[in-house]
Amino acid sequence: MEKTPSHADTAHREVAGSSPDGIPQGSVDTTRWWRYANLRALNLWMFVPLLSIFSQGFDGSMMNGLQSVSHWQSYFGQPKGATLGIFNAAYPLGGIAGVFLISPIADRLGRRIGLATGAALCCLGAALQGGALNIAMFVVARVIIGAGSVVVAGVGSPWVTEIAHPAQRSTMTALFLTFYSIGSIVAGWCTFGTFRIDGTASWRIPSSLQALPSIIQVLLVWWVPESPRWLVDQGRNQEALDMLAKYHGEGDASDPVVVFEYNEITAALEAEKKEMGGQTVVQDLVAFFKTPGNRKRSFIMVWAAICSQMSGNAFVSYYLSPILTSVGLTSDLQQTLINATNQMLSWFSALYFATLPAKIGRRIMFLCSLVAMWIVVICITAGSAVFANDSNNKAAAYTVVVFLYLFSPAYNFGFNGNLGLYIPEILPYRLRTRGLAFFYFVQFSFMTLSTFAIPVGLENIQWRLYIVFIAWIVVEFVGVWFTFPETKGPSLEDIAHIFDGPPARDTAAEKGLKDAPSPIEKTPAE
């Protein structure tokens, strides 16, 4: 639930001359952003960091598709059970290693260098994957891709959050994870188009194409504006102000939105430096458990990571082929076509749902998504059980297929764009990249568990494995209900107040508006 504004909240907004959502009224009409040259350029350049999650979506859909490609199956010896689990688990294992690169690169060298480094690793891994000569080479390549993809995701997500116009931040950040579905669509149709090729090119082509978004990023990342928060943290305040003025105020440094943002950023980072300045990485990690607010953030990140990987989504992301086989759909054509069209439905739903967090709130979307997934998994389980008892029951098989299609929209409602927005915005600047690294560490750890365990479970207990997820989603719902606060409304810096209480306001937002030095004379109150 949203916090009811206190007297201090009202006073703060009166000082800022802001609208009810905490953002001052600027000279730029963001509802018609395409009319403003600099804001239009910013939103177009944001396409580069938005591509950061593309590789993860491509990977799951590609591996789904390759399991339906006869030449891939025969080349690698018909992998099943634990062997198939190793193929898929190699990717998140690489991601676990990659999380340790996110903060050192992105916080010390900047968001541009961080993104470029991760993208370069993805290019290397995709080249090795496309040219793999044996299982070991294919698995190593997937480890490298996993490491690179988590770096670009861990850098790209906060970068979008930090450079987007405040009036567009929730939508732009929510759009981040929709590119997962775009990657899935490209991979799905690619494997559908190449499975007919008589030779190893049927799987080498999609394996190599995983480098495509990373190549685009390596080439274009140098034109994306650097994060003003990172610039202020490096003492480059004038560059930060110039960036805000150019892209959020169309060159007007006295624009109320620009002044508000600059003062909030400088004041918040000044307060964070006093509290955490000079700490080592280990001390920063300890900070996640030092205060009640940070302990709550840490629990939310862990729980959100678990919900994002242990709600049954691994079935659709990595093991669609064996599930379809279990209900009698065995041909390459059927399976690759279902995979490709399912990814299109996933993208359409993700794209629309990315516009909703700013309208209906984050918390309600998480809860509704879990309820929807629970219902879908129950229906998949029931259909699979009926078909297992009567293999001639086509209605049961088609029921499973229909609800496999519906799972992605149910998941996307709360755990696509909404999750990509929620995690970066609950973290203060100094903990943002380290917090995302921690989040991805937990997420990829559970992804490793699910991708390795599910094929073993499907091989040994078939549809009965789904029952575990029916029970577990109920537990996830309870955790979200009692611990996830609503963050709809406040500015990026003001969200800290929800977790840290009124003292954070005195040292950040109010101090920023009243006392923070600014190189410009006009203030939002004028």
Q: In the predicted model, what is the mean pLDDT of residues 224-247?
A: 93
**pLDDT at site 179:** 84
Token couple for 481: 């209900």
Q: In the predicted model, what is the mean pLDDT of residues 47-69?
A: 83
**pLDDT at site 276:** 59
Residue 522 in this model has a pLDDT that exceeds 50: no
Phi, psi of 24 (to 5 degrees): -65, 160
Domain residue spans of the chain? 53-514
**pLDDT at site 515:** 42
Top-ranked range on mean pLDDT: pick from 229-233, 284-288, 451-455, 460-464:
229-233
DSSP letter for 227, please: P
- Percent of the chain exceeding pLDDT 70 equals 87
Q: Cα separation of 468 and 448, whole Å? A: 17
First to last CA, the chain: 33
Q: Cα separation of 354 and 141, whole Å? A: 32
**pLDDT at site 275:** 63
Mean pLDDT in the chain? 82
Q: What is the pLDDT of residues 129-184, one digit of tens each?
A: 999 999 889 999 999 999 999 899 889 888 998 899 988 887 787 777 778 878 88
The larger pLDDT score, comparing residue 360 to residue 370, is at 370
Return the CATH fold of 53-514.
Answer: Growth Hormone; Chain: A; (1.20.1250)
**pLDDT at site 231:** 93
DSSP letter for 325, please: H
Half-sphere exposure of 355 (CA within 13 A, CB side): 4
Top-ranked range on mean pLDDT: pick from 46-60, 249-263, 458-472:
249-263
Q: Cα separation of 219 and 3, whole Å? A: 44
Residue type, 408: S
- Give the confidence band of 397 by pLDDT, cuts at 50, 70, 90: confident
Token couple for 154: 């861990």
Q: What is the pLDDT of residues 252-283, one digit of tens each?
A: 999 999 998 899 888 878 876 766 555 555 66
Closest among 131, 106, 132, 108 to 119, alpha carbons compared? 106
Residue 524 in this model has a pLDDT that exceeds 60: no
- Model's pTM, two decimal places? 0.70
**pLDDT at site 510:** 44
Q: Confirm if 433 and 107 have CB atoms less than 8 A apart.
A: yes
Q: What is the pLDDT of residues 279-292, one digit of tens each?
A: 555 666 677 777 88
Phi, psi of 120 (to 5 degrees): -65, -40
Q: Confirm if 143 and 97 have CB atoms less than 8 A apart.
A: yes
Q: In the predicted model, what is the mean pLDDT of residues 100-104?
A: 85
Token couple for 435: 């917090």
Residues 6+ apart with CB under 8 A from 287: 276, 279, 294, 431
**pLDDT at site 378:** 93
Residues 6+ apart with CB under 8 A from 412: 181, 346, 349, 350, 353, 369
CA angle 219, 161, 308 (to 5 degrees): 95
Helix (H) or strand (E) holding 469, with range, is helix 465-483
Q: Which residue has the tokens 């678990």?
A: 306
Q: What is the pLDDT of residues 325-344, one digit of tens each?
A: 777 777 777 877 887 888 78
Q: Cα separation of 16 and 474, whole Å? A: 43
Q: In the predicted model, what is the mean pLDDT of residues 432-459?
A: 83
Residue 15 in this model has a pLDDT that exceeds 50: no
Token couple for 43: 């939103």
Q: In the predicted model, what is the mean pLDDT of residues 345-364?
A: 85
311-315, 357-361, 474-478: the lowest-pLDDT one = 311-315
Residue 65 in this model has a pLDDT that exceeds 80: no
- DSSP per position, 171-216: HHHHHHTHHHHHHHHHHHHHHHHHTTSSSTHHHHHHHHHTTHHHHH
**pLDDT at site 377:** 92
Residue 315 in this model has a pLDDT that exceeds 80: no
**pLDDT at site 141:** 93
Per residue, the 3-state secondary structure of 25-51, as one string, reads CCCCCHHHHHHCHHHHHHHHHCHHHHH
The larger pLDDT score, comparing residue 462 to residue 114, is at 114
Q: Cα separation of 150 and 439, whole Å? A: 11
The larger pLDDT score, comparing residue 273 to residue 434, is at 434
Q: In the predicted model, what is the mean pLDDT of residues 444-454?
A: 83
Residue 100 in this model has a pLDDT that exceeds 60: yes
Q: In the predicted model, what is the mean pLDDT of residues 344-349?
A: 85
- Give the confidence band of 389 by pLDDT, cuts at 50, 70, 90: confident
Q: Cα separation of 221 and 110, whole Å? A: 12
Q: In the predicted model, what is the mean pLDDT of residues 392-405?
A: 87
Residues 6+ apart with CB under 8 A from 278: none
3-state percent breakdown (helix, strand, coil) of the chain, nearest 5 = 80, 0, 20
DSSP letter for 53, please: G
CB atoms within 10 A of CB 250: 17
